[in-house]
Amino acid sequence: MSAWDLYDDLIDAIPRDIVVSRAAQGPRWTRVYTESPSCGMAMTMSATSRPAQMRAEYTGVPLRAIAQLAKSWNFSEASFGMAALNSYYATPSVADEHGFTLADAPWPHIFDPFREAVAGKKVAVIGHFPFAPKALTQAADFYMLERSLNEGDYPDSAAEYILPECDYVFITGSAFVNKTAPRLLELSRTAFNVILGPSTPLAPVLLEDYGVSQVIGMVPTDSAGMFDCLEEGASLDMFNFGHRVSLGT
Protein backbone atom coordinates (compact mmCIF):
# COMPACT_ATOMS: atom_id res chain seq x y z
CA MET A 1 0.00 0.00 0.00
CA SER A 2 1.28 3.46 -0.91
CA ALA A 3 0.94 6.49 1.34
CA TRP A 4 -0.83 8.15 -1.60
CA ASP A 5 -3.65 5.60 -1.44
CA LEU A 6 -5.29 7.56 1.36
CA TYR A 7 -5.39 10.74 -0.72
CA ASP A 8 -6.51 8.91 -3.84
CA ASP A 9 -9.39 7.27 -1.99
CA LEU A 10 -10.52 10.63 -0.64
CA ILE A 11 -10.32 12.29 -4.06
CA ASP A 12 -11.96 9.46 -6.01
CA ALA A 13 -15.28 9.93 -4.19
CA ILE A 14 -15.67 13.53 -5.39
CA PRO A 15 -18.14 13.91 -8.30
CA ARG A 16 -16.70 15.31 -11.53
CA ASP A 17 -19.46 17.85 -12.15
CA ILE A 18 -18.92 20.16 -9.15
CA VAL A 19 -17.21 23.46 -10.03
CA VAL A 20 -15.37 25.89 -7.75
CA SER A 21 -16.99 29.33 -7.60
CA ARG A 22 -14.74 31.00 -5.00
CA ALA A 23 -11.34 30.24 -3.50
CA ALA A 24 -9.19 32.29 -1.14
CA GLN A 25 -6.25 31.92 1.20
CA GLY A 26 -5.95 33.86 4.43
CA PRO A 27 -3.18 33.89 7.02
CA ARG A 28 -4.71 30.96 8.91
CA TRP A 29 -7.41 29.36 6.77
CA THR A 30 -7.69 28.46 3.10
CA ARG A 31 -11.25 28.15 1.78
CA VAL A 32 -12.95 26.74 -1.30
CA TYR A 33 -16.61 27.43 -2.06
CA THR A 34 -19.02 25.81 -4.50
CA GLU A 35 -22.64 26.56 -5.34
CA SER A 36 -23.81 23.28 -3.75
CA PRO A 37 -23.57 25.34 -1.53
CA SER A 38 -20.54 24.22 0.40
CA CYS A 39 -17.44 25.70 1.96
CA GLY A 40 -14.41 23.61 2.77
CA MET A 41 -11.43 24.82 4.72
CA ALA A 42 -7.91 23.74 5.55
CA MET A 43 -5.13 25.17 7.64
CA THR A 44 -3.01 27.50 5.55
CA MET A 45 0.56 26.30 5.20
CA SER A 46 2.74 28.83 3.44
CA ALA A 47 5.71 26.70 2.30
CA THR A 48 6.25 27.22 -1.43
CA SER A 49 9.74 25.80 -1.90
CA ARG A 50 8.40 23.50 -4.62
CA PRO A 51 6.73 24.92 -7.74
CA ALA A 52 2.94 24.99 -7.96
CA GLN A 53 1.25 22.40 -10.17
CA MET A 54 -1.59 24.67 -11.27
CA ARG A 55 -2.24 28.35 -11.90
CA ALA A 56 -3.55 30.12 -8.82
CA GLU A 57 -6.93 31.07 -10.35
CA TYR A 58 -9.28 28.26 -9.32
CA THR A 59 -12.69 29.79 -10.10
CA GLY A 60 -14.55 27.74 -12.69
CA VAL A 61 -12.25 24.75 -12.29
CA PRO A 62 -13.75 21.33 -11.38
CA LEU A 63 -13.59 20.76 -7.63
CA ARG A 64 -12.07 17.34 -8.15
CA ALA A 65 -9.15 18.85 -10.09
CA ILE A 66 -8.40 21.27 -7.26
CA ALA A 67 -8.70 18.45 -4.72
CA GLN A 68 -5.86 16.69 -6.54
CA LEU A 69 -3.62 19.48 -5.29
CA ALA A 70 -3.83 17.94 -1.83
CA LYS A 71 -0.97 15.78 -3.11
CA SER A 72 1.21 18.79 -3.98
CA TRP A 73 4.52 19.32 -2.19
CA ASN A 74 3.89 23.04 -2.47
CA PHE A 75 2.07 23.28 0.85
CA SER A 76 0.33 26.55 0.04
CA GLU A 77 -1.18 24.82 -2.98
CA ALA A 78 -1.89 21.68 -0.95
CA SER A 79 -3.92 23.83 1.44
CA PHE A 80 -6.23 24.65 -1.47
CA GLY A 81 -6.35 20.96 -2.36
CA MET A 82 -7.49 19.93 1.10
CA ALA A 83 -9.98 22.82 1.29
CA ALA A 84 -11.45 21.64 -2.02
CA LEU A 85 -11.63 18.08 -0.80
CA ASN A 86 -13.30 19.24 2.40
CA SER A 87 -15.74 21.38 0.42
CA TYR A 88 -17.26 18.17 -0.90
CA TYR A 89 -17.20 16.13 2.30
CA ALA A 90 -18.50 19.03 4.43
CA THR A 91 -21.52 19.60 2.19
CA PRO A 92 -24.34 19.16 4.74
CA SER A 93 -26.26 16.61 2.65
CA VAL A 94 -23.10 14.58 2.01
CA ALA A 95 -22.04 14.57 5.66
CA ASP A 96 -25.55 13.54 6.66
CA GLU A 97 -25.58 10.74 4.08
CA HIS A 98 -22.23 9.51 5.42
CA GLY A 99 -23.65 9.22 8.92
CA PHE A 100 -22.07 12.22 10.65
CA THR A 101 -24.05 13.57 13.58
CA LEU A 102 -23.93 16.74 15.64
CA ALA A 103 -21.16 16.59 18.25
CA ASP A 104 -22.12 17.50 21.80
CA ALA A 105 -19.13 19.46 23.09
CA PRO A 106 -18.34 22.95 21.73
CA TRP A 107 -14.90 23.44 20.18
CA PRO A 108 -13.01 24.60 23.32
CA HIS A 109 -14.29 21.45 25.03
CA ILE A 110 -13.63 19.04 22.19
CA PHE A 111 -11.48 16.80 24.40
CA ASP A 112 -13.88 16.78 27.36
CA PRO A 113 -15.81 13.65 26.30
CA PHE A 114 -12.56 11.69 26.59
CA ARG A 115 -11.77 12.72 30.19
CA GLU A 116 -12.72 9.43 31.79
CA ALA A 117 -11.68 7.21 28.89
CA VAL A 118 -8.04 8.36 29.05
CA ALA A 119 -7.72 7.90 32.82
CA GLY A 120 -4.54 5.96 33.52
CA LYS A 121 -3.72 5.78 29.80
CA LYS A 122 -0.85 7.02 27.65
CA VAL A 123 -2.12 9.85 25.43
CA ALA A 124 -0.62 11.84 22.56
CA VAL A 125 -2.04 14.91 20.83
CA ILE A 126 -0.63 15.83 17.41
CA GLY A 127 -0.95 19.59 17.01
CA HIS A 128 -0.90 22.30 19.66
CA PHE A 129 -4.39 22.32 21.16
CA PRO A 130 -4.10 24.64 24.20
CA PHE A 131 -7.24 23.25 25.85
CA ALA A 132 -6.17 19.58 25.59
CA PRO A 133 -3.90 19.31 28.67
CA LYS A 134 -6.58 20.57 31.07
CA ALA A 135 -9.21 18.21 29.67
CA LEU A 136 -6.93 15.16 29.70
CA THR A 137 -5.36 15.55 33.15
CA GLN A 138 -6.34 12.01 34.17
CA ALA A 139 -4.00 10.49 31.59
CA ALA A 140 -1.07 8.65 33.10
CA ASP A 141 1.25 10.09 30.45
CA PHE A 142 0.48 13.03 28.18
CA TYR A 143 2.42 14.20 25.13
CA MET A 144 1.68 17.14 22.85
CA LEU A 145 3.60 17.06 19.57
CA GLU A 146 3.98 20.09 17.32
CA ARG A 147 6.06 21.24 14.36
CA SER A 148 6.03 24.91 15.42
CA LEU A 149 6.98 24.34 19.02
CA ASN A 150 5.41 25.99 22.04
CA GLU A 151 6.69 25.65 25.59
CA GLY A 152 6.35 22.05 26.73
CA ASP A 153 5.66 20.58 23.28
CA TYR A 154 7.52 17.60 21.90
CA PRO A 155 8.89 18.03 18.37
CA ASP A 156 6.80 16.25 15.76
CA SER A 157 9.69 13.87 15.04
CA ALA A 158 8.98 12.30 18.44
CA ALA A 159 5.92 10.65 16.88
CA GLU A 160 8.04 7.73 15.68
CA TYR A 161 8.95 6.91 19.27
CA ILE A 162 5.85 7.93 21.23
CA LEU A 163 2.80 7.00 19.16
CA PRO A 164 3.32 3.22 18.95
CA GLU A 165 3.21 3.09 22.77
CA CYS A 166 0.07 5.20 23.20
CA ASP A 167 -3.45 4.10 24.06
CA TYR A 168 -5.10 7.25 22.67
CA VAL A 169 -3.86 9.45 19.83
CA PHE A 170 -5.54 12.67 18.70
CA ILE A 171 -4.38 13.92 15.28
CA THR A 172 -5.00 17.37 13.84
CA GLY A 173 -6.64 17.37 10.43
CA SER A 174 -3.91 19.71 9.18
CA ALA A 175 -1.68 16.62 9.00
CA PHE A 176 -3.34 15.97 5.64
CA VAL A 177 -1.88 19.20 4.26
CA ASN A 178 1.74 18.46 5.19
CA LYS A 179 1.43 14.78 4.20
CA THR A 180 2.15 13.36 7.66
CA ALA A 181 -1.35 11.87 8.05
CA PRO A 182 -0.64 8.44 6.50
CA ARG A 183 2.39 7.85 8.70
CA LEU A 184 0.68 9.13 11.85
CA LEU A 185 -2.21 6.74 11.25
CA GLU A 186 0.21 3.88 10.75
CA LEU A 187 2.08 4.70 13.96
CA SER A 188 -1.17 4.89 15.94
CA ARG A 189 -2.87 1.84 14.45
CA THR A 190 -2.98 0.00 17.79
CA ALA A 191 -4.41 3.01 19.64
CA PHE A 192 -7.84 4.58 19.77
CA ASN A 193 -7.11 7.35 17.30
CA VAL A 194 -9.14 10.43 16.54
CA ILE A 195 -8.70 12.89 13.66
CA LEU A 196 -10.12 16.26 14.56
CA GLY A 197 -10.33 19.90 13.61
CA PRO A 198 -11.67 22.01 10.75
CA SER A 199 -9.11 20.63 8.27
CA THR A 200 -10.39 17.09 8.78
CA PRO A 201 -12.08 15.38 5.80
CA LEU A 202 -15.45 13.97 6.87
CA ALA A 203 -14.89 10.72 5.02
CA PRO A 204 -16.15 7.32 6.21
CA VAL A 205 -13.28 5.63 4.35
CA LEU A 206 -10.97 6.82 7.13
CA LEU A 207 -12.79 4.53 9.55
CA GLU A 208 -13.55 1.76 7.08
CA ASP A 209 -10.11 1.30 5.50
CA TYR A 210 -7.53 3.25 7.48
CA GLY A 211 -8.15 2.25 11.08
CA VAL A 212 -9.39 5.59 12.36
CA SER A 213 -11.58 5.27 15.45
CA GLN A 214 -13.37 8.60 15.27
CA VAL A 215 -13.54 11.63 12.96
CA ILE A 216 -14.54 15.06 14.29
CA GLY A 217 -14.84 18.03 11.94
CA MET A 218 -16.91 20.98 10.74
CA VAL A 219 -20.05 21.32 8.61
CA PRO A 220 -21.17 24.82 7.61
CA THR A 221 -24.73 25.93 8.21
CA ASP A 222 -24.05 29.12 6.23
CA SER A 223 -21.39 28.32 3.64
CA ALA A 224 -21.04 31.87 2.29
CA GLY A 225 -20.80 33.27 5.81
CA MET A 226 -18.19 30.66 6.69
CA PHE A 227 -16.10 31.55 3.64
CA ASP A 228 -16.14 35.27 4.42
CA CYS A 229 -15.62 35.11 8.19
CA LEU A 230 -12.28 33.33 7.89
CA GLU A 231 -10.62 35.92 5.65
CA GLU A 232 -8.61 37.35 8.54
CA GLY A 233 -8.22 34.06 10.37
CA ALA A 234 -10.70 34.56 13.23
CA SER A 235 -11.09 30.87 14.02
CA LEU A 236 -13.80 31.08 16.67
CA ASP A 237 -16.05 33.06 14.33
CA MET A 238 -16.52 29.93 12.22
CA PHE A 239 -18.82 28.52 14.86
CA ASN A 240 -21.34 31.25 14.07
CA PHE A 241 -21.65 29.70 10.61
CA GLY A 242 -21.29 25.97 11.25
CA HIS A 243 -21.20 23.19 13.80
CA ARG A 244 -19.03 20.27 14.77
CA VAL A 245 -19.98 16.77 13.67
CA SER A 246 -18.52 13.36 14.40
CA LEU A 247 -18.53 9.78 13.21
CA GLY A 248 -17.27 6.77 15.13
CA THR A 249 -17.17 5.92 18.81
Indicate the domain borders of the chain: 4-97, 101-220+242-248
Degrees, nearest 5: CA angle 36-69-219: 35
Region 54-63: mean pLDDT is: 90
Cα–Cα distance, 105 to 111 (Å, whole number):
8
**pLDDT value for 233:** 66
- Please state whether 192 falls in left (phi above 0), alpha (psi between -120 and 50) or beta: beta
**pLDDT value for 234:** 66
Per residue in 111-129, pLDDT (tens digit) is 999 999 999 999 999 999 9
Region 51-80: mean pLDDT is: 94
Cα–Cα distance, 235 to 148 (Å, whole number):
18
Region 125-134: mean pLDDT is: 94
Task: Say what percent of the chain tops pLDDT 70.
Answer: 98
Non-local (6+) Cβ contacts of 214 within 8 A are: 192, 193, 194, 195, 207, 246, 247, 248, 249
32 by Cβ neighbours in 10 Å (0-12 / 13-18 / 19+) ranks as buried
Reference 26, options 13, 35, 39; nearest CA is 39
Domain made up of 101-220+242-248: CATH architecture: 3-Layer(aba) Sandwich (3.40)
Per residue in 2-49, pLDDT (tens digit) is 999 999 999 999 999 999 999 999 999 999 999 989 999 999 998 899
- Asked whether residue 105 carries a pLDDT value surpassing 90, the answer given is no
- Asked whether residue 235 carries a pLDDT value surpassing 80, the answer given is no
Region 191-206: mean pLDDT is: 97
pTM (2 d.p.): 0.95
CATH topology of domain 4-97: Enolase-like; domain 1 (3.30.390)
